[in-house]
Amino acid sequence: MDLLLDVGNTRLKWGLHDGAGWKGQGAVLLTALDGFADVLAGLGQIQRMLGANVAGATVGGRLGAMLAARHVLPEWIQPQLEGYGVVNRYLEPARLGADRWAALIGARELHGGAALVVTSGTATTADVLDASGVFQGGVILPGLDLMRLSLARDTAQLPYSDGRFVAAPRRTADAIVSGCLQAQLGAIERMFRLVGSEPSAVCLLNGGAAATLAPHLECPVRVVDNLVLEGLVRMLAEA
């Protein structure tokens, strides 16, 4: 079995793959990272491990120690100029986030046409992948929850509270939720215009807020469980 890890800013997402399909997936909060040792203990024998880590060296070191205890050698990916059907047009290709690189590869594996690759987690990223597999660039903005938290933290009278999405809100809680959601939707839909005229163009949407965003997007959208893990599988298949 192969173990794939997507180590984000808030959670570690893991997947177990046998070369033909997923045999298990799950997630662990980084604030409870020690619990991943128990997850590892229940996964059986692991032959190879490949991961994308944007949480930093300290988290990577802790995970490395857990894996070493299971006699597994960790391997962390780095973005490339070109590989796995994707060309990286970042001005400094190595500075692209490892998670964004893996997500682009996962997107290319799942969809052969143009796509806007969106990950909606602690941050929201929207990356343009054209029909030839060229990553043309993308944007990063605070994620949906982070937007709401910033209002609660930095204003005196806008608390972090439950609200609902309303087209024209008439109470503060709804105004906050609706405003933050509209900002996310607007950014995604504007970025989608860059590929929208290409045949079969789609927004490939993943991340913790995907289920909240998807029903409101006014562009073709496909929700994917974890594009980073899908990309890592593709990389491992060609290793």
Decide if 6 is catalytic.
no
Cα separation, 72 vs 44, whole angstroms? 12
In one-letter notation, the amino acid at residue 13 is K
Give the active site residue among 6, 18, 38, 99. 99
Instruction: Tell me which residue has tokens 């052969």.
Output: 112
The distance between the two most distant Cα atoms of the chain, rounded to a whole number of Å, is 58
Hey, what's the torsion of the CAs at 126, 165, 182, 146, to 10 degrees? -60
Phi-psi region of 17 (alpha: psi -120 to 50; beta: other; left: phi over 0): beta
| DSSP, res 134 | E
Separation between Cα atoms, residue 150 and residue 122, nearest integer Å: 12
Active site residues: 99
